[in-house]
């Protein structure tokens, strides 16, 4: 028998460490010597803390949303008295989130202990690397990737084999294999989860890539805000080195390769590969013109290949199962699976991995459980701050690089921020532009100044100060910034504005011409008033008003002084009689 506790960042944030302490205490009181093991995130973050209890025969019972009190119940009733605790167990509906997925990158996440290399070896870990180093030539490795059709999962969707081949053919005795684990998109945590839950998959993928291009040194560029990911990855690197999977003469082939971690300072622009290289070299993270591409002149002007975590984590599966098996998954132009982070107004938030070719509706409703509190779906932001908003009319769009791009959004690294009827699309565009404006490195005038001008216009509109011509001016600035920016940050920063204008132009017009926010989200455009028919004069709203804007005697109808009202909404929140109206 054993107890396994999910301890990814989501599990720990939900209280997994306290849960473990509670189990240790209750097991000790019961005189039980049952090992407690650690695993990563299985993807169902909304169910954390998650605890698996295995009996002596290996049968598993999964308990979800576990509290410290539940730990006592599980020990006393489930383990000692063999009683069923149905109310705590994962439901069939929740199992749907995992059951409808196709897991390649996440196949070990939430299953193995990420801190033990033995667990990774028990699921055929490093067998693909052994095959590539002892049986295949670099040309054969690259050809297998070409057959598989794996595209880079960092956002651009560029064929992985092409990048590896370019670095392989570049002359030079010194080459580098680099992993971009910067992952700066708000609401995105796919790479972090892999690093925390299955770090050896990344190491094995990088080892295979290094063999293919002829690199003897690798660097994983991880954002410093991922402390648990860094700790587990460093532990995995140490274990791989001690076991002979990194270092000199790997598999007795004479091939040497080693890895190190570089913690980045959290600059979003360092997700662009030339800016990342500048940061690795100790310079300010700013992009440079291409060509030359990193495959020709990258890190320290040596041939360099850069892929993200998810891309590398696909590689071992491809070489264990064959390029044809991978190519059989997905669509004609988008092979394999894709990992998405479901956040926002989604019922089942977390990580999902699905075969390319499902629709957005499949992911949001069948796997994600639909919208919280039975609200109406409005849009989904794809591709992070560089992506775009896809409306409900396009929910049946296939998840395919080309199909998503045709909506005006991008696949990106895999963030899906779901929005419901209470989301103001103008304010949503302002939020994402505020992010990209702050994260601009400032090298390009169009990006540095243009994003600031657009942010000023959007801020004015959300404050009720929009004027005729603002929409047209925003569109003009968007296209000029796209054309005048050097790197992907500036070239894609206008996407949230362009897609919200395209699909939700009426909301912009309501803000500008009617001074109304139909989503009732922009405070400056809201008016709070009291419905005389419903008000009983209880005084609750008056007591909570921070500026004494509510007037009236007890048991008599109250009124809101609009000159004093700061539109904080406290009166609406505390009223139990639906007497406060919001318009």
For 215, half-sphere exposure in the C-beta direction (CA atoms, 13 angstrom radius) is 32
**Strand 217-223 vs strand 337-344: parallel, antiparallel, or unpaired?**
unpaired
Task: Assign 96 a pLDDT band (cuts: 50, 70, 90).
Answer: confident
Q: Is the pLDDT of residue 80 over 90?
A: yes
**Cα distances (Å, whole numbers) of residue 377 to 354, 366, 420, 518:** 21, 14, 5, 15
Task: Assign 386 a pLDDT band (cuts: 50, 70, 90).
Answer: confident
Domain boundaries, the chain: 2-90, 117-325, 337-420, 440-514, 527-582
Task: Assign 238 a pLDDT band (cuts: 50, 70, 90).
Answer: very high
Q: Are 359 and 398 in contact (CB under 8 A)?
A: yes
pLDDT of residue 157: 85
pLDDT of residue 98: 81
pLDDT of residue 215: 98
Question: Which has more pLDDT, 136 or 188?
Answer: 136
Which of these CATH numbers, 3.40.50.2000, 1.20.1440.230, 1.10.3720.10, 3.50.50.60, describes 440-514? 1.20.1440.230
Selection from 552, 555, 553, 559 nearest residue 531 by Cα: 559
**Strand 415-420 vs strand 388-391: parallel, antiparallel, or unpaired?**
unpaired
Query: What is the torsional sign of CA 507, 510, 512, 517?
Result: negative
pLDDT of residue 115: 97
Region 261-268: mean pLDDT is: 90
| CATH topology classification for 117-325 | Rossmann fold (3.40.50)
Task: Assign 297 a pLDDT band (cuts: 50, 70, 90).
Answer: very high
The Cα 68–Cα 345 span in angstroms is 28
22-69 pLDDT, tens per residue? Answer: 999 999 999 999 999 999 999 999 999 999 999 999 999 999 999 999
Region 558-578: mean pLDDT is: 91
The Cα 64–Cα 51 span in angstroms is 6
527-582: CATH number: 3.30.70.20
Please enumerate in sequence order all residues whose Cβ is within 8 A of that of 439, keeping only pairs 6 or more positions apart, or say none: 184, 267, 268, 269, 385, 489
E strand spans, 50-134:
51-54, 60-63
The Cα 363–Cα 132 span in angstroms is 35
pLDDT of residue 515: 93
pLDDT of residue 99: 82
The Cα 329–Cα 400 span in angstroms is 12
Arithmetic mean of pLDDT over the chain: 94
Q: Are 270 and 264 in contact (CB under 8 A)?
A: yes
Instruction: Report DSSP letters for 224-264, one per residue.
Output: TT-HHHHHHHHHHHHHHHHTTSSEEEETTTTEEEEEEEEEE
Instruction: Report DSSP letters for 46-64, one per residue.
Output: GG-S-EEEE-TT--EEEE-
pLDDT of residue 144: 98
pLDDT of residue 473: 97
pLDDT of residue 84: 85
Q: Is the pLDDT of residue 183 over 90?
A: no
Region 429-436: mean pLDDT is: 94
Helix H or strand E segment including 101? none
Instruction: Report DSSP letters for 309-373, one per residue.
Output: HHHHHHHHHHHHH-HHHHHTSB-SSSBSEEEEEEEESBSS-EEEEEETT-BHHIIIIIIT-SBGG
- Alpha carbon 340 to its chain's center: 6
**Percentage, residues of the chain above pLDDT 70:** 100
Q: Is the pLDDT of residue 266 over 90?
A: no
pLDDT of residue 398: 96
The Cα 263–Cα 286 span in angstroms is 17
114-144 pLDDT, tens per residue? Answer: 999 999 999 999 999 999 999 999 999 999 9
Which of these CATH numbers, 3.40.50.2300, 3.40.50.720, 2.40.50.140, 3.10.20.600, describes 337-420? 3.10.20.600
Backbone φ and ψ for 46, nearest 5 degrees, come out as: -70, -10
2-90: CATH number: 3.40.30.10
Question: Can you state the percent helix, strand and coil of the chain, rounding each to 5?
Answer: 45, 15, 40
Helix pair angle (160-169, 199-213), 10° resolution? 50
Q: Is the pLDDT of residue 283 over 90?
A: yes
339-360 pLDDT, tens per residue? Answer: 999 999 999 999 999 999 999 9
Region 143-167: mean pLDDT is: 94
The Cα 30–Cα 46 span in angstroms is 30
100: helix, strand or coil:
coil
Please enumerate in sequence order all residues whose Cβ is within 8 A of that of 365, keeping only pairs 6 or more positions apart, or say none: none
Region 236-247: mean pLDDT is: 98
What 3 state SS string does 507-536 have?
HHHHHHHHCCCCCCCCHHHCCEEECCCCCC
């Amino acid at each position: 028998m054993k107890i396994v506790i999910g301890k990814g960042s989501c599990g720990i944030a939900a209280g997994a460490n306290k849960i473990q302490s509670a189990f240790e205490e209750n097991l000790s009181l019961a005189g039980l010597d049952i090992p407690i093991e650690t695993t990563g995130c299985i993807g169902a973050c909304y169910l954390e803390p998650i605890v698996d209890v295995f009996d002596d025969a290996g049968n598993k019972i999964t308990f979800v949303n576990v509290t410290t009190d539940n730990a006592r119940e599980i020990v006393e009733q489930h383990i000692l008295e063999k009683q069923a605790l149905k109310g705590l167990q994962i439901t069939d509906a929740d199992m749907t989130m995992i059951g409808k997925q196709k897991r390649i990158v996440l196949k070990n996440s939430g299953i193995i202990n990420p801190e033990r290399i033995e667990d990774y070896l028990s699921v055929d870990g490093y067998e693909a690397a052994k095959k590539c180093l002892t049986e295949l030539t670099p040309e054969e490795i690259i050809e297998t990737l070409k057959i598989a059709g794996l595209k880079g999962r960092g956002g651009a969707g560029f064929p992985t084999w092409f990048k590896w081949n370019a670095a392989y053919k570049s002359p030079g005795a010194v080459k580098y294999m680099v992993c971009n684990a910067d992952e700066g998109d708000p609401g995105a945590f796919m790479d972090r989860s892999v690093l925390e839950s299955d770090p050896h998959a990344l190491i094995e993928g990088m080892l295979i890539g290094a063999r293919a291009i002829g690199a003897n040194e690798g660097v994983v560029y991880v954002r410093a805000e991922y402390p648990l990911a860094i700790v587990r990855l460093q532990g995995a690197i140490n274990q791989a080195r001690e076991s002979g999977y990194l270092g000199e003469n790997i598999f007795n082939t004479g091939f040497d390769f080693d890895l190190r971690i570089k913690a980045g300072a959290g600059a979003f622009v360092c997700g662009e590969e030339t800016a990342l290289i500048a940061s690795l070299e100790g310079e300010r993270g700013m992009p440079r013109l291409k060509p030359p591409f990193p495959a020709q002149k990258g890190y320290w002007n040596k041939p360099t290949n850069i892929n993200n975590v998810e891309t590398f984590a696909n590689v071992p599966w491809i070489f264990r199962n064959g390029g044809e098996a991978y190519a059989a998954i997905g669509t004609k132009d988008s092979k394999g699976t894709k990992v998405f982070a479901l956040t926002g107004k989604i019922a089942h938030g977390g990580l999902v991995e699905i075969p390319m070719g499902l629709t957005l509706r499949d992911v949001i409703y069948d796997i994600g459980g639909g919208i919280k509190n039975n609200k109406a779906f409005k849009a989904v932001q794809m591709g992070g701050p560089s992506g775009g908003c896809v409306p409900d009319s396009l929910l049946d769009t296939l998840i395919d690089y080309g199909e998503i791009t045709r909506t005006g959004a991008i696949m990106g690294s895999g963030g899906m921020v779901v929005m419901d009827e209470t989301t103001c699309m103008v304010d949503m565009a302002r939020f994402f532009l505020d992010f990209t404006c702050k994260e601009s490195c400032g090298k390009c005038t169009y990006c540095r100044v243009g994003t600031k001008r657009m942010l000023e216009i959007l801020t004015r509109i959300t404050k009720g100060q929009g004027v005729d011509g603002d929409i047209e001016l925003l569109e003009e600035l968007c296209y000029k910034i796209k054309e005048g920016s050097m790197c992907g940050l500036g070239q894609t920063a206008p996407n949230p504005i362009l897609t919200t204008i395209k699909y939700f132009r009426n909301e912009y017009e309501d803000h500008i011409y009617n001074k109304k926010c139909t989503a009732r989200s922009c405070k400056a455009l809201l008016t709070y008033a009291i419905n005389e028919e419903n008000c009983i004069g209880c005084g609750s709203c008056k007591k909570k008003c921070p500026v004494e804007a509510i007037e009236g005697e007890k048991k008599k109808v109250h009124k809101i002084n609009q000159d004093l009202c700061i539109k904080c909404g406290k009166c609406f929140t505390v009223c139990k009689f639906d007497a406060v109206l919001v318009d």
